[in-house]
Amino acid sequence: MKAIFHGHALVEIQTEHHNILIDPFISGNELCDLDANQVNPDVILLTHGHNDHVGDTVEIAKRTGALVVAPFELATYLSFQGLNTHAMNIGGSNEFDFGCVKYTKAFHGSSYIDENKNIIYMGMPGGILFSAEGKTIYHAGDTGLFGDMQWIGDLNEIDLAFLPIGDNLTMGPEDALLAADWIKADIVVPIHYDTFPTIKQDPYNFAKDVRTGTGKVLKIGESLEL
C-alpha cells in the first residue's frame, strides 16, 4: 500500500486494486499538485463537510463514478447531487471491497457553504481509520486534541498517522505532539498547514520533535510505501 500527500488534508492511498482519495481539495488549493480533471479514484473518503475537505468531490465522483464514503448528513447531501454514496457515523466501521473504514471522533465543526452562501449543517466531523493489506492508516481529519486519542492508540495498531498541525483551525504542533504520543503510530506525517495564512507552520520542526514513532514530512506529491 502506498500513501501520497497532495497538500492540506488530501491523502491518496493506492492499494493493489484501488485508488482512494481522502478529502480531495484540489482546485481550491494552489499548492496541490493534482488536476481535478485527471484524477481517477474509485473511492473518495470524506472526514467532514468543510469546503477545504469536500473540495472537488462532486465533479470527480460524477466523472469517475467513485463511491463517496462520508458522515451521514454529508453523504445524504452528496447523494442528492447524484453521487454514489455510503453514509457512516462515528464509532461505526464497515468492511468494503477496498478495505475497512472506521470513523473516529474529531473535535471540530462540519458544515458546507454552497454557492448561494448557505451554511449547510453536515453532522459530526470525523477522523478515519483505514485498514487494508494488513496496514492501518489513521487520518485524524480536522480536530483539536482530545483525550480519547489514547483509546484510539490503545485499540489499534496504527502504521501511519496523518495529524493536523496548522493551529488556529485545528491542533497546533504542541498538541499534535501529544496526539502522536497517544496514537502511537509507527510514522507520523503532519498535514493541514501552510494552505492559508492562519495555518503557517514549520512541519520539519514538528517532525523532528515527534517522540513516539517517527515524524516524517511528506512534500506535496511525495509518497510513503507501507
Residues engaged in binding Ni ion (CB under 5 A): 50, 142
CB of 169 to Ni ion, least distance (A): 6
Considering the complex, what minimum distance in angstroms separates the CB of residue 143 from Ni ion? 9
- Nearest approach, Cβ of residue 50 and Ni ion (Å): 3
Q: Which of Mn ion, Ni ion, none binds 23 (CB below 5-8 Å, type-dependent)?
A: none
Chain positions 44 to 73 lying near Mn ion, rule: CB under 5 A, are 52
Cβ nearer to Mn ion, comparing 132 with 169: 169
Cβ neighbours of residue 12 under 8 Å, at least 6 residues apart? 3, 4, 6, 19, 20, 21, 22, 41
| Closer CB to Ni ion, 50 or 184, in the complex | 50
Question: How many residues interact with Mn ion (rule CB under 5 A)?
Answer: 2
Closest distance to Mn ion from the beta carbon of 53 (Å): 6
Please identify, using beta-carbon distances, which residue of 24 and 213 lies nearer to Ni ion: 24
Of the candidate spans 84-92, 117-125, 130-138, 140-148, the one that interacts with Mn ion by CB under 5 A turns out to be: 140-148
164: nearest Cα among 146, 178, 176, 182: 176
Smallest separation, CB 140 to Ni ion (Å) = 11
23 binding Mn ion? (CB under 5 A)? no
Q: Shortest approach of Mn ion to residue 70 CB, angstroms?
A: 15
Which residue's CB is nearer to Ni ion, number 72 or number 107? Answer: 107
Give Cβ neighbours of residue 60 (< 8 Å, ≥ 6 apart): 21, 24, 36, 39, 41, 44, 66
Judged by CB, which is closer to Ni ion: 142, or 175? 142
Sole window of 25-33, 79-87, 116-124, 136-144 interacting with Mn ion (rule: CB under 5 A)? 136-144
Retrieve residue 61's grid coordinates: 465522483
Residue closer to Ni ion (CB basis): 137 or 199: 199
Question: Biggest alpha carbon distance in the chain?
Answer: 46
Single residue of 12, 23, 56, 142 touching Mn ion by CB under 5 A: 142
Footprint of Mn ion on this chain (CB under 5 A)? Answer: 52, 142
